[in-house]
Amino acid sequence: MRITNKIMQNNNLSNINNNKVLQDKLSTQMSTQKKINRPSDDPVVAIRALRLRSNVTEATQYYSKNIPDAKSWLSVTEGALKNTSEIITSMIAQCTKGSNGDLTSSDREIIAEQLKALRDEIYSTADVDYAGRYVFAGYRTDTSISFNEEETKQYTITEQLDNTAIDSITHISTVAQTAGGDYVDINDIDSSNYEDIAVQEADITATEVHRIRLAYADLSADYVPSVTRVTGKDADGNVTTEDVVAADDVTLVHSYDIPTAYEQAAGNPDGVYYIPETGEMVLGENVYAKMMEYKDAAETSTVDEGEIRITYEKTHWLDGDLRPEHYYACSSTDEEGKTIEYNQSYLTGSDVERQVIEYDVGFSQNIRVNTTADEVFTPGIGREVDDLVKTLEDVQSLESAAKKLEEMLEKASTDDEKALLQSRLNAANKALTLTKDKLQHMFESGITAMQGYLDANNLAITTCGTRSSKLALIENRMQSQKTNFETLKSENEDIDITEVAIQLSSAELTYEAALMASGKVMKATLLDYI
């Protein structure tokens, strides 16, 4: 076969071009430091690169963004909970001090002010936020836990309780009935009519009464609460209820009415009395015994037959009052009549997962970062303080009445006048002694109650710490995974610079040698061989 100059020329050009392509490829790899620049260069490497880049991006999102954000959220939460723990501990210390029976009037006044300040501080702590989001507000991170100013807004609230919410308190009756049938209170001292208010020592009595203390005080007086109990579920799976007492049998009694709701309940075992000012429902003995029999049936797991539901209204809200949408199934109605419902799923009877916020912190791995307000900042803390402060004020009032009666007795001019005043002073002293004894027992029970709130808070701190520890382990693992993925990505995509540099030098040398050899070969023609 004859090899012509044209064939030699084409072969030389083809080989030189291949060498130039290789040189260009190596030069591009040196400049980009990547093995391929287009998928067609190596489809296997390209597919693997896409997968590894996706893994690196996800790992970077978890490690550099999600995990630090979750850590910050948990840190803010834990700080607020630790502050709350200190506040509740201070409240326990105040209750311990208050249980001392030798306190002076000024001591009690200081304790009352301290308790109110500590209560307000607890609920202020509940409004702590992270990056503009309230950390204890569940999904409603844009809504504070408590009202920030006085507001008028109608809420219809349903509290879901059981018979453990029924407590018994001692009521000190300081009321007597005059000869004319009128009721008078021993605290009402009027020097002009003390002869008509001949309160006797026997009129002062201590009675145990049963009550349900609702989450709020200052409730709507024109809405009589409904009291129902859960009985089970119907064929469609809906919760069924029945009245504990008929609506007509709930009696409205104001806190200033005489006789009081406590005294009426003591005389009517079938009665239920609603005090809107204090947010209490006082139960007669028979009603109390009936409600204490309500138990959850062991054979049903999707409904609690021991649940008692009380629905009531509250319209007037003060600065610092807790927003019910963070705690209860409720609805609100604004001035334009627009109604918004909250947490209605709480009434379905099934186990409803409260508003849990979770962060994706790893591949198919998430962690809860939030603690909800109803786990720690319960209305019961404030209501406990309200009871203690009210009893402290009762002691202060009786001390003031007794002191005034003593002054009036010193100024009395006749024996009859002295006898009447002495009788009333004896009654006031008896009421004062009984109320002080009640106060001491309330402070003692307050210590127990506050210890319960402290335990709940400590549990939340422990849970938060456990989440933080788990997150730290995940962070370490994600750091390792991120490094591994980056290494694999680099091994898959990045060149070995030393190797490519040598190959490029070799290609350049080969290219130059090919040019020189081709130049010499192409000079020879067929005539040179003839």
Q: What is the pLDDT of residue 509?
A: 78
Q: What is the pLDDT of residue 191?
A: 47
Residue for token pair 């005080």: 217
Q: Flag whether pLDDT at 336 surpasses 70.
A: yes
Range scoring the smallest mean pLDDT among 175-179, 290-294, 323-327, 369-373: 175-179
Q: What is the pLDDT of residue 2?
A: 55
Give the C-alpha distances (Å, rounded to integers) separating 222 from 156, 311, 321, 360.
12, 13, 21, 49
- Residue 463: is it exposed, middle or buried by C-beta count within 10 angstroms (0-12/13-18/19+)? middle
358 pairs with which residues across the strands? 368
Q: What is the pLDDT of residue 196?
A: 54
Q: Which helix (H) or strand (E) holds 167?
A: strand 166-173
Residue for token pair 């400590």: 458
Q: How confident is residue 190, by pLDDT bands cut at 50, 70 and 90?
A: low
Q: What is the pLDDT of residue 192?
A: 47
- Please spell the DSSP secondary structure of 58-107, one letter per residue: HHHHIIIIIHHHHHHHHHHHHHHHHHHHHHHHHHHHHHHHHT-TT--HHH
Which residue in 129, 125, 118, 123 sits closest to 146, CA to CA? 123
**Average pLDDT value for residue range 36-45:** 79
Q: How confident is residue 286, by pLDDT bands cut at 50, 70 and 90?
A: very high
How many percent of the chain have pLDDT more than 90?
50
Q: What is the pLDDT of residue 267?
A: 87
Which residue in 388, 386, 394, 390 sits closest to 435, CA to CA? 394
Q: What is the pLDDT of residue 114?
A: 94
Of the two residues 448 and 3, the one the predictor is more confident about is: 448
Write the single-letter amino acid at 184. Answer: V
Q: What is the pLDDT of residue 497?
A: 77
Can you tell me the distance from the alpha carbon of 432 to that of 394, in angstroms, rounded to the nearest whole number? 9
Q: Which of 129-138, 401-410, 423-432, 500-509 has the highest mean pLDDT?
A: 129-138
Q: What is the pLDDT of residue 529?
A: 52
Can you tell me the distance from the alpha carbon of 494 to that of 36, in angstroms, rounded to the nearest whole number? 9
Neighbours of 514 (CB within 10 A): 16
**Average pLDDT value for residue range 289-293:** 93
Of the two residues 218 and 198, the one the predictor is more confident about is: 218
Q: Six-digit token pair at 86? A: 């200190």
Of the two residues 466 and 492, the one the predictor is more confident about is: 466
Bridge-based pairing state of the strands 272-275 and 250-252: parallel
Range scoring the smallest mean pLDDT among 102-116, 253-267, 360-374, 482-496: 482-496
Can you tell me the distance from the alpha carbon of 465 to that of 71, in angstroms, rounded to the nearest whole number? 11
**Average pLDDT value for residue range 9-37:** 74
Range scoring the smallest mean pLDDT among 21-35, 160-174, 185-199, 493-507: 185-199
Write the single-letter amino acid at 190. Answer: D
Q: What is the pLDDT of residue 110?
A: 93
- CB of 30 within 8 A of CB of 502? no
Range scoring the smallest mean pLDDT among 61-70, 297-306, 515-524: 515-524
**Sign, CA torsion 173/179/181/185:** negative
pLDDT tens for 360-385 read 998 888 999 999 999 999 999 999 99
Of the two residues 308 and 412, the one the predictor is more confident about is: 308
Can you tell me the distance from the alpha carbon of 201 to that of 185, in angstroms, rounded to the nearest whole number? 13
Q: What is the pLDDT of residue 258?
A: 81
- Total-model pTM: 0.85
Q: Which helix (H) or strand (E) holds 369?
A: none
Neighbours of 18 (CB within 10 A): 11
What spatial distance separates the first Cα and last Cα of the chain, rounded to whole Å?
17
Q: Flag whether pLDDT at 496 surpasses 80.
A: no
Q: Which of 22-31, 101-110, 324-333, 513-522 has the highest mean pLDDT?
A: 324-333
Bridge-based pairing state of the strands 272-275 and 129-130: unpaired
Can you tell me the distance from the alpha carbon of 42 to that of 36, in angstroms, rounded to the nearest whole number? 7
Residue for token pair 């406990």: 384
Which residue in 128, 142, 134, 97 sits closest to 115, CA to CA? 97
Q: At what angle do helices 379-411 and 67-98 cross, to 10 degrees?
A: 20
Can you tell me the distance from the alpha carbon of 178 to that of 208, in angstroms, rounded to the nearest whole number? 24
pLDDT tens for 220-244 read 998 999 999 999 888 888 889 999 9
Which residue in 309, 311, 315, 151 sits closest to 220, CA to CA? 315
- Residue 157: is it exposed, middle or buried by C-beta count within 10 angstroms (0-12/13-18/19+)? buried
Q: What is the pLDDT of residue 180?
A: 56
Write the single-letter amino acid at 418. Answer: K
Q: Flag whether pLDDT at 127 surpasses 90.
A: yes
Q: Six-digit token pair at 430? A: 């008896």
Q: How confident is residue 521, by pLDDT bands cut at 50, 70 and 90?
A: low
SS3 state of residue 376:
helix
pLDDT tens for 66-103 read 999 999 999 999 999 999 999 999 999 999 998 887 78
Write the single-letter amino acid at 238. Answer: N
Q: Which of 42-56, 171-185, 466-480 has the highest mean pLDDT?
A: 466-480
Of the two residues 352 and 361, the one the predictor is more confident about is: 361
Q: Which of 340-354, 420-434, 489-503 has the highest mean pLDDT?
A: 420-434
Q: What is the pLDDT of residue 462?
A: 96
Q: How confident is residue 386, by pLDDT bands cut at 50, 70 and 90?
A: very high
Of the two residues 79 and 530, the one the predictor is more confident about is: 79
Q: Which helix (H) or strand (E) holds 423?
A: helix 415-493
Q: What is the pLDDT of residue 384?
A: 94
